[in-house]
Structure 1
């Protein structure tokens, strides 16, 4: 992966991105092309792809959003959304690129772009048992989660949990 390039996601990447999403997530967690496009429109610098000579190796989908209010799966976001937190919506790495530090590279690039926008806090919903991965990256479970926030997280599946990082500079 020496020739790996990280760059902003474009509409031309969507076919490969949707294919990788289909390999990594159950159908109930799939986002449509329209949902991806809305996130790219909201925050072009926070949606990244990683390519090498073999094609797409991973992607990060993230955007500014209102803290404590994760959007539902497959939602099309408005372009004038509240922007007080870096919401990490999706991170996926192709099986052939796992274990090579690509997820970390995508997250660091996303964090740097979020900081450039003035964002200092991050939130996400860990799905499919991924909470231990996100803990290693610097996110944690809040001590108290409001019932309505817990209900939103449950919309991402029975094992989904809401997580936050109070200071993304520490990631």
Structure 2
């Protein structure tokens, strides 16, 4: 398996994984997902099998402040940001437990540090905050979250250090 930039042919697999992963939050349109890649192609990628099947994907983009973007809307232009918002990371249910999520996060961290990013922020949905805590993310208390993120959604951040 390998992690690479998203190609047009990967979007079908990404949509299938999104459909299997997000039963509480709902699905975003292809145009909305593609807006993340358009904003930051270096921080959006897929993990593919040797047969080129999409096993997982990660969409992240520059963002400012502690209020995350709304779901279901194309990304607005963001300038002068030292943060990356990890919009979405999901793994095919048949590929879980193989370290795909961790591997994609390692790539995101390397790219982010190289770009001078100071932190990665995300909204943990569907009770995923424990998973993100294991990867070094900490809750941002008092966050104002868009209701579309679902109940028990938690805004989290990981501060990056240059290496």
Same fold (TM over 0.5): yes
The reply to whether residue 74 of structure 1 matches residue 72 of structure 2 is yes
Structure 1 residues 79, 26: CA separation in 2 closer, same or farther (over 3 Å shift)? same
The reply to whether residue 158 of structure 1 matches residue 124 of structure 2 is no
Unaligned runs of 5+ in 1: none
Partner SS for 1:78: coil
Q: Where does residue 132 of structure 1 map in the other structure?
A: 130
Q: Where does residue 27 of structure 2 map in the other structure?
A: 30
Q: In the aligned structure 2, how far is the partner of 1:80 from the partner of 1:67?
A: 11
TM-score, length basis structure 2: 0.90
Q: Where does residue 81 of structure 2 map in the other structure?
A: 83
Unaligned runs of 5+ in 2: none
How far 1:28 sits from its partner (Å)? 3.7
Q: Post-superposition, which runs of at least 4 consecutive aligned residues in structure 1 deviate over 6 A?
A: none
Let me know the Cα RMSD of the aligned residues. 1.8
Q: Relative to structure 2, which stretch is displaced further, 8-17 or 44-53?
A: 8-17
Q: In the aligned structure 2, how far is the partner of 1:111 from the partner of 1:12?
A: 25
Contact 1:39 1:77 in 2 (8 A): yes
> Deviation string for 1:85-123 (max 9, x for gaps)?
111111111122111111100001011111222102111
Instruction: State how 1:1-171 maps to structure 2 within 5 Å.
Output: 4-26=1-23, 28-54=25-51, 55-142=53-140, 144-145=141-142, 149-152=143-146, 154-167=147-160
Partner SS for 1:150: coil
> Deviation string for 1:109-143 (max 9, x for gaps)?
0111112221021110000010000000110113x
How far 1:168 sits from its partner (Å)? 5.6
* Bigger proportion of residues as helix: 1
Structure 1 residues 95, 169: CA separation in 2 closer, same or farther (over 3 Å shift)? farther
Partner SS for 1:26: coil
TM-score, length basis structure 1: 0.86
Q: Relative to structure 2, which stretch is displaced further, 159-168 or 128-137?
A: 159-168
Aligned length: 162
Structure 1 residues 84, 90: CA separation in 2 closer, same or farther (over 3 Å shift)? same
